[in-house]
Amino acid sequence: MSIDLVFPPAFILIAGAILLPILSRSLRPVILLGVPALTLAVIWSLDNGVLLEANFLGYGIELVESDNLRRLFATVFTLMTLVGGLFAYKQAKTVELSAAMAYAAGAVGVSFAGDLITLFLFWEFMALFSTVVVWSGGTEAARRAGIRYGIMHLVGGIILKLGIEGIAVQTGSVDIRALELGGFSTWMVFIGVLINAAAPPVSAWLADAYPESSSTGAVFLSAYTTKTAVLALVLLFPGESLLIWVGLYMIFYGIIYALMENDMRRILAYSIVNQVGFMVCGVGIGTELALNGVAAHAFSHIIYKALLLMSAGAVLHQTGVSKCTQLGGLYRTMPVTTICGIIGALAISSFPFTSGFISKSMISQSAAYGQLGFVWFCLVAASAGVFLHAGIKFPWFVFFQKDSGLRPKDPEWNMQAAMIIFSAICIGLGVFPELLYRFLPYPVDYVPYTADHLVSQFQLLLFAGLAFFVCLPLMKRTETIVLDIDYIYRRGLPWLGRKLAILREGVNDMLNDFVQGPGRRAAVFWIRYHGPDGPLARTWPTGSTVLWVAVMLIAILLGAMLF
């Protein structure tokens, strides 16, 4: 049943974000759960097609355009808002919850944007309120990370805006459609979207900012920004082959840095880059199976990544510790958190009968069907790497390994309930993949549970697990700092700024001497000869005066005769 829509579904979430700090704290659960539930109902009442149009500066804009792909992304964004709100409502500050709901509204707005102007406005809306979520970490490190995060997304927004303006001038249209990388404007849009996807060489903003947020804030941050970028790539650049190589770089970059990292939330942050790399690669492949895989994997990823960060956030909330070297043995007193964390780890590792298995395999299989042998091999090898850093390393060092002596209990009931809900979804989608496949943008002719696929996946995971425990002495974390590209703008740029300031002062002094020096010398000369003590200011005898007058007259006469 359809309804006559007069405003975008995102406006419901914006209203909820406004009401949260106004209404009493007792109504907080009603807003956090009721507003996303209402938004979901509206999303699923929408027919396909352009449903809301307007005119802006002479351009026709489409505030709401609905189809299966957009509806799927909007659904998982709203579901994340609902369950994330349940997870955070007793622990998070009101400003964080309000900012998170506004952040989600931006993601839903992007999902239904039918033109580039609407997309850009909601895009920047997300950037603003996600920065507030980072700042809600409440520490000096969070403040600085939020500033860097905001600057990076400001730059990305400016680049995207330049591209949109160029396309509007060149074509006279701002409709969202497939673009080709053939000119300056499309390249600007391409780069602007990839910045939000945490693609190289600016991937480090994600691992820099997300771990500095609160124990609940990272759950929201993991869901929206990078996945809206994936949706934008599907809509604007499907089949762009360059994305295959960008995605492969992101996959192995995320794996390598996650394996080196000691902070549990930074491990999961780098894992976000890794998983988004699979999606970007799938967009580059561009077939119907690949794009179905991208949509399915984005849906699955948001849920199991939030589950992993919920388990990490529960540990941080209960212990105040984030370093793997200071954790271990928590399974004894945090059984619910441990089990849910393990389910999330299995899902991200594409373990059979979990959501990751029925989504990620679609992307690798599309590479095989497209005769991209090298790409298929890289994707399969990367699956083993994911199992190493997220499937084993995270739960092993956080919940098992040595006994850290910490004895925290499982967190409060709302945190446990949220983790259990997402755990059930991870398993439910893995066991019944048709629950997800029926909502994908293209008809699905893919069966994940075949004998050869199951055997190969179990073999891959078995040998990856064996490699982890054989190399366990090498895998143990130490109190080290992992340097990433963000070192350039966190340390290198301030150092360069200081050096440039010194150089500027030197050049300024040199220019002052060059410009002001002659004037100072003229003034000294004038004072020396015409000042009170100068020879031309003294009282001269009459004879000397007559002599100088005669000399001047002779000089004038000679000048007149010569010229």
The pLDDT score that the predictor gives to residue 166 is 93
H-run or E-run covering 86: helix 68-88
The pLDDT score that the predictor gives to residue 2 is 44
Structure tokens at 516: 């002001």
Structure tokens at 387: 């199992």
The pLDDT score that the predictor gives to residue 325 is 85
CA distance 359 to 290: 10
The pLDDT score that the predictor gives to residue 1 is 40
H-run or E-run covering 324: none
- In the chain, the largest separation of any two C-alpha atoms, in whole Å, equals 126
Q: Does residue 78 contact residue 40 with C-beta atoms inside 8 Å?
A: yes
CA distance 110 to 103: 11
Ranges of the chain whose pLDDT falls below 50: 1-3
The pLDDT score that the predictor gives to residue 533 is 66
- State pLDDT tens for residues 326-342: 888 899 999 999 999 99
Distances (CA, A) of 481 to 137, 204, 312, 335: 21, 14, 20, 31
The pLDDT score that the predictor gives to residue 3 is 46
Can you give the pTM of this predicted structure? 0.85
CA distance 252 to 100: 30
The pLDDT score that the predictor gives to residue 6 is 59
The pLDDT score that the predictor gives to residue 146 is 93
- State pLDDT tens for residues 42-67: 999 999 998 888 887 777 888 999 99
CA distance 557 to 94: 94
CA torsion angle 120 125 128 134 (round to 10): -110
In order, the DSSP letters of 399-444 are: HSSS--S--PPP--HHHHHHHHHHHHHHHHHHH-THHHHTTSSS--
Count of CB atoms within 10 A of residue 371's CB?
8
